[in-house]
Amino acid sequence: MSNNMNTFAEHGHFSIDVSGRVLCAHLSGSWNSQTAERFSDEFKYKAQALIGEPWGHLVLLDDWDLGVPEMTPIIESLVSWCIERGVVRAAHVFSPSMLKTYQLDAMVVEKVGGFERRSFADESSAIAWLEAEGLNSTDSPS
């Protein structure tokens, strides 16, 4: 019986959707670098529709249980990729957690150029901030 059968299996889950000028990602579980790589690939694919105009990123993190240190450079690289391609705001949503704050601060710059990241305890506050910043997350009829 081989013990290394699941050595490269992904741990953790995510879903990514684009709504209006906002890319929304819902993260869950504990991530390894394989999950971070697949997230980065899918994120870049879905973000193509937003490139060319300012856009925002809404990240739902309440179900996320952090990740291995090896995923840090993958996410740092993705953040740079986003900033180079017009992301202007990132709203992280999670119940107050020192561990999550610490890991997110290590991976995602808080402010650089026209980019700004903020954390929120609830999704509605995050969406309200993105909308106040001119990034509508829903294509609601006017």
Percent over 90 (pLDDT), the chain = 84
Q: Where are the domains of the chain?
A: 11-132
Question: CA angle at residue 106 from 77 to 108, to 5 degrees?
Answer: 50
**Cβ–Cβ < 8 Å for 133, 89:** yes
Per-residue pLDDT tens over the stretch 71-122: 999 999 999 999 999 999 999 999 989 999 999 999 899 999 999 999 999 9
Residue 14 is which amino acid? F
Per-residue pLDDT tens over the stretch 6-50: 456 788 999 999 999 999 999 999 999 999 999 999 999 999 999
Strand partners for 59: 25, 92
Continuous H helices in the chain: 33-47, 72-84, 98-107, 123-132
Integer Cα distance of 81 and 101 in angstroms: 21
Q: Which CATH class is domain 11-132?
A: alpha beta
Please, what's the largest Cα pairwise distance for the chain? 62
Task: Tell me the pTM.
Answer: 0.87
